[in-house]
C-alpha cells in the first residue's frame, strides 16, 4: 500500500490517479475507470469525478493507494 498525499479535504478520482502516476492524462483515467479496473474502498468505481477523501483506499490492478492529507 502506498500513501498519496492530497492538499485539500477531497480530490476527484481521476486527479488522484494522475497524481499517483497511474495514468498520464484524463483520457487514460477515463479508460481504466470505464473498464472497471478501479475500486474505491473495495467497490468498483467508474466515475472520474468521484470525490475521495483521506482514509479512502483506491485499488488499480495490484497497486493499492491510501489517500492521506498532507501535513501542514
Q: What's the average model confidence in pLDDT over 64-69?
A: 96
Q: What's the average model confidence in pLDDT over 48-61?
A: 96
Contact 24, 15 (CB under 8 A): no
Contact 13, 60 (CB under 8 A): no
Residue 60: CB atoms within 10 Å: 17
Q: What is the pLDDT of residue 72?
A: 62
- 3-40, pLDDT tens digit by residue? 999 999 999 999 999 999 999 998 999 999 999 999 99
CATH topology of domain 2-69: 3.10.290
Q: Is the pTM of this model over 0.95?
A: no
Amino acid at each position: 500500500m502506498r500513501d498519496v498525499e492530497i492538499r485539500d479535504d477531497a480530490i476527484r478520482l481521476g486527479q488522484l490517479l494522475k497524481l499517483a502516476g497511474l495514468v498520464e492524462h484524463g483520457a487514460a483515467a477515463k479508460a481504466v475507470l470505464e473498464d472497471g479496473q478501479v475500486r474505491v474502498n473495495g467497490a468498483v468505481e467508474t466515475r472520474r469525478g468521484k470525490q475521495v477523501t483521506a482514509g479512502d483506499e483506491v485499488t488499480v490492478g495490484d497497486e493499492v493507494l491510501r489517500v492521506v492529507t498532507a501535513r501542514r
